[in-house]
């Protein structure tokens, strides 16, 4: 695993005396590990028995889609406060579409960075407006709200298993990838034995 980066801006971070990570721009932050291709090595970094953060992936994947990378914070189970999984495939309108699914504890900011937002958490929209859609996370209906983000992407956020759930889609015109019948499974679940199609690291997960 390479040097950790700031989870909010990907600048390099330095270790403080108490072991926390410091970004010259954002101060104390979570350290973000390099993106990894999905496979046994990546799974080994996610599937700690006591891992507190889900590793969500759509299943079944849309036709001809593949899992194209994973990314997480920290170097051990205790520091894994955010996990991102990316998927890539043909868009409904033609061309290539990208989806990054992030689970994280409050205040981390990985989902917000992929979303193109400056604040680490979603803000008041989740309590003041009706949800825009839903997915099923580990079999549970999970409301999602559309929130503003980068102009080239569509952003949805909700809560699942006590953690923020972000779904970010590129390009924005492919927002239909997130729909009421989309189902997410947690890769930490030892009873799952899905043979997920995989592809090379691509696009947003590397940002």
Identify the helix (H) or strand (E) that includes residue 128. Answer: helix 125-128
Number of domains in the chain: 1
| Residue 16 located in a structural domain | no
Residue 43, both tokens: 């799974």
DSSP 3-state of 93: coil
How confident is the model over 78-95, as a mean pLDDT? 90
- Report pLDDT for 47: 64
Residue 10 is assigned to a structural domain of this protein: no
Task: Provide mean pLDDT across the span 17-30.
Answer: 89
Q: For residues 87 and 57, what is the distance between their CA atoms, to the nearest angstrom?
A: 8
Which residues form the domain of 143?
32-206
Residue 48 has pLDDT above 70, yes or no: no
Least confident range of 72-81, 115-124, 165-174: 72-81
**How confident is the model over 149-175, as pLDDT tens digits?**
999 999 999 999 999 999 999 999 999
Whole-model pTM: value is 0.94
Strands lying side by side in the sheet with 66-72: 56-58, 183-186, 133-137, 140-146, 154-160, 163-170, 96-104, 82-90, 66-72
Look at residue 132 and give its three-state secondary structure.
coil
**Is 97 domain-assigned?**
yes
CA distance 134 to 179: 6
Domain annotation covers residue 52: yes
What percent of the chain has pLDDT above 90?
62
Q: Is residue 77 part of a domain?
A: yes
């Amino acid at each position: 695993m390479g040097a950790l980066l700031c989870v909010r801006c990907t600048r390099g971070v330095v270790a403080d005396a108490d072991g926390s990570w410091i970004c010259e721009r954002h101060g104390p932050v979570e350290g973000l590990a390099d993106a990894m291709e999905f496979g046994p090595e990546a799974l080994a970094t996610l599937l700690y028995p006591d891992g507190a953060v889900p590793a969500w992936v759509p299943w079944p994947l849309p036709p001809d889609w593949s899992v194209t990378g994973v990314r997480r914070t920290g170097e051990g189970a205790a520091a894994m406060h955010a996990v991102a999984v990316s998927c890539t495939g043909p868009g409904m309108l033609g061309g290539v579409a990208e989806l990054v699914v992030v689970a994280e504890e409050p205040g981390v900011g990985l989902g917000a960075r992929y979303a193109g937002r400056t604040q680490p958490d979603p803000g008041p929209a989740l309590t003041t407006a009706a949800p825009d859609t839903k997915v099923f996370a580990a079999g549970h209906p999970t409301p999602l709200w559309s929130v503003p983000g980068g102009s080239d992407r569509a952003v949805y956020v909700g809560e699942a298993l006590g953690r923020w759930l972000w779904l970010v889609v590129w390009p924005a015109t492919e927002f239909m990838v997130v729909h009421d019948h989309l189902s997410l499974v947690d890769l930490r679940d030892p009873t799952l034995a899905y043979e997920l199609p995989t592809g090379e690291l691509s696009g947003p997960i590397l940002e």
